[in-house]
Structure 1
Amino acid sequence: MKILTITGLGPGDPSLLTLAAVDAIQESTVVSYPVSTRGGDSLAEKIASKWITKDKKKLPLHFPMVKDQSTLKSAWRVAGNELMKMVEKGERVVFLAQGDISLFSTGSYLSKELEKHHPECLVKLIPGVTSFSAAAAKSKLPLAFQEEQLLVLPVPSSSEELKVMLSDAALKKRVVVLLKLGKNWEWVKPLLEELDLIKQSVFAERIGFSDQKILRASELSSGTRPYFSLLLIRQSWPFIMP
C-alpha cells in the first residue's frame, strides 16, 4: 500500500512536537518540507532538525507565497508529483508543516492535492499544537470555559468589520483569537483602545521560537508586527470561578 504522512510540528518549539510526529520523522526515509523560495531555508526543517538524521533523504518543495491561482495550483501539483515519485520508489515519506496541518496550513492543500490526483495513496495526517493554544498556555489565559464560544480567524479586512465582530462576541460571551496580525496592528491597536479592550487583550509573537514575545496588548507600541503574531481577546469571565 502506498502511504504518505503529513505531520504538524507545532508553533516552533521542538519540545512541542507530538510523539506521533517524532515517530513519523524517525521512521521515515525521506523528509520533505516547504520552502518559500527555491534554495531557501525552511522553518519546518529547522524545528524538526533534531530528528532529521544524516541517513534521511531531504526533499524541499517550493510553495511560493503568492495569491495567483495558477501559480499556486502548479506548485501543489509539482509537490504532489514529487512526493509520489518517492512513495512509488518504496520510500517512507513524511512531509513537515508548521503548526497544525488543518489550520491555514500548506499541509491541507497538499493533502487535498494528493486526494484528488493520487487517490491510490493513503495520506496519514498527524495534528500539531496551534500557535494560539500555545500562547494561551504561556499567558495562562484559558480559551474557553463551560458554555463559552471560541472564534478563531485572521484579522478582518476593516476596522468596522472587526468592531461589529467584537461587539457580537461580547454579547455571546465569545473569546476571540485574531491570527495574522502583522501590519494590521497599526489600526487594530487604536480600535482596541477605542473599545476599551486593549487591557483585556494578550499579544503573542513568534510563539515557540527563542525570540517569542507575550505581553498585554496595552504594553505594545504601535507599528507593524511580524507575520507570526496574534491576539487573544477575552471580554468577560464566567460568573462562577475559583
Structure 2
Amino acid sequence: MRGTFYGIGVGPGDPELLTVKAIKAIEAADVLIAPKTEKKEGSVALEIARPYLKDDIEIVYQVFPMVKDFAEDTGAWEANKAEILALLNAGKNVAFLTLGDPMFYSTYIYVFRLLEHEDVDIVTIPGIPAFAAIGSRVGRPIVEGNDILAIIPGTADKKHLEEVMAVASSAVVMKVYHNSAEIIDLLRRNNMTKEAVLVSRVGLDDERIIHDLEAHADEKLNYLSTILTRRS
C-alpha cells in the first residue's frame, strides 16, 4: 500500500508556531524531505521542525534548482519526484517540509504539481507566512478597514512594482534581499517608507528588525527578509 505525501508548512521560524495538524503529520511520517539550495548547507525548515522529530525518522535532503530555471531544465525536479515516488511505493509516509505556507511562494508548489497527476494521496497542511508573524511580532496591523493590500515579490519587474505600489494602501514586500536599495527607493517615492518595517528571519535566533529603512538601504540582507508598510 502506497504511503501518503504530506506538504507541511512549518511557519516562519518559531517551532511553537507549527499547527497541531502539522506536528501530528510530522510524527506520522516515516521520511522527511528537507529541501535545500545548492549554495547552502542544511535546511532551515528542518531545524524549525526538529523538536517534533521521531528518533528513527529518515531524513532525505533534496536539492532544488532556482524556480526561474524550472521550464528550461526539469532534470533535477524529475529526479526528486522519482525518489519521492519510490519512497511512497515502499509504503512510507513522506513529509515535505517548507517554510511559511506551502501554497505561498513555495518550492512545494512545484513538487505538488509534479505529483498531483500521479496516483498519490496528497495532504497539504497550511503554515503561518512570515508577514503574518511579523505583524504580530512588531504590533503592526497588516490591513484594516477598507485597505487594499498588495503582496509584492521584490524580484518582480520594476514596472510592475511601480504600478502596484502606486495603488496599494498597504504592502508586504518579500524577497528584498538582492535589490533592497531599489525597493526602498520605490517605497520612498510612493510615500511608504515612514510606516515601513523590515524584519529578517522572524522567530529565529538571529532575527533582525529595522525601522529606518533608508539608513540601511545599501546593506546586504538575508534571504528571509520581508517589509511591511503602508502609505503615510
Do both share a fold (TM > 0.5)?
Answer: yes
Task: Name the residue aligned to 1:227.
Answer: 223
Greater shift after overlay, 219-228 or 136-145?
219-228
Is residue 100–residue 129 contact of structure 2 (8 Å, CA) maintained in 1? yes
CA deviation profile, 1:202-227 (whole Å, cap 9, x unmatched): 11111121111223244742213222
Task: Write the distance in 1 (CA, Å) between the matches of 2:227 and 2:40.
Answer: 33
Task: Write the distance in 2 (CA, Å) between the matches of 1:91 and 1:49.
Answer: 19
Determine which of 172, 177, 183 is the counterpart of 2:178: 183
DSSP-derived class of the 2:183 partner: helix
Q: CA RMSD in A?
A: 2.2
CA deviation profile, 1:23-50 (whole Å, cap 9, x unmatched): 1111111111112139931111111111
- How far the C-alpha of 1:147 sits from its partner, in A, is 2.9
- How far the C-alpha of 1:70 sits from its partner, in A, is 5.5
Task: Name the residue aligned to 2:209.
Answer: 214
Amino acid at match of 1:225: L
CA deviation profile, 1:36-70 (whole Å, cap 9, x unmatched): 13993111111111122321111111212363335
Amino acid at match of 2:173: L
Amino acid at match of 2:139: K
Task: Write the distance in 1 (CA, Å) between the matches of 2:40 and 2:217.
Answer: 35
Is residue 153–residue 178 contact of structure 1 (8 Å, CA) maintained in 2? yes
1:108 is aligned to 2:104: no
Amino acid at match of 1:186: A
- How far the C-alpha of 1:161 sits from its partner, in A, is 4.3
- How far the C-alpha of 1:19 sits from its partner, in A, is 0.8
Taking only the aligned residue pairs, the percentage that are identical comes to 29
Task: Write the distance in 2 (CA, Å) between the matches of 1:122 and 1:193.
Answer: 47
Residues 219/13 of structure 1: CA separation in 2 closer, same or farther (3 Å cut): farther
Residues 12/71 of structure 1: CA separation in 2 closer, same or farther (3 Å cut): farther
Task: Name the residue aligned to 1:133.
Answer: 132
Is residue 28–residue 92 contact of structure 1 (8 Å, CA) maintained in 2? yes
- How far the C-alpha of 1:139 sits from its partner, in A, is 1.4
DSSP-derived class of the 1:48 partner: helix
Task: Write the distance in 2 (CA, Å) between the matches of 1:153 and 1:188.
Answer: 10
- Which ranges of structure 2 fall in alignment gaps of 5 or more residues? none
Residues 39/52 of structure 1: CA separation in 2 closer, same or farther (3 Å cut): farther
Is residue 29–residue 57 contact of structure 2 (8 Å, CA) maintained in 1? yes
Task: Give the greater-gyration-radius structure (CA).
Answer: 1
TM-score using structure 2 length: 0.89
Residues 77/109 of structure 1: CA separation in 2 closer, same or farther (3 Å cut): same
Task: Write the distance in 2 (CA, Å) between the matches of 1:161 and 1:121.
Answer: 38
Task: Write the distance in 2 (CA, Å) between the matches of 1:103 and 1:39.
Answer: 22
Is residue 38–residue 62 contact of structure 1 (8 Å, CA) maintained in 2? no
CA deviation profile, 1:62-105 (whole Å, cap 9, x unmatched): 21236333565222222221111111111121111111100111
Task: Name the residue aligned to 1:29.
Answer: 30
TM-score using structure 1 length: 0.86
Matches within 5 A, 1:1-242: 2=2, 3-37=4-38, 40-65=41-66, 67-69=68-70, 72-116=73-117, 118=118, 120-155=119-154, 156-158=156-158, 161-169=160-168, 174-218=169-213, 220-223=215-218, 224-235=220-231
Task: Write the distance in 1 (CA, Å) between the matches of 2:200 and 2:40.
Answer: 26
CA deviation profile, 1:149-191 (whole Å, cap 9, x unmatched): 2211202432x5433322212xxxx321111011221122233
DSSP-derived class of the 1:99 partner: coil
Aligned residues: 229
Amino acid at match of 1:126: I
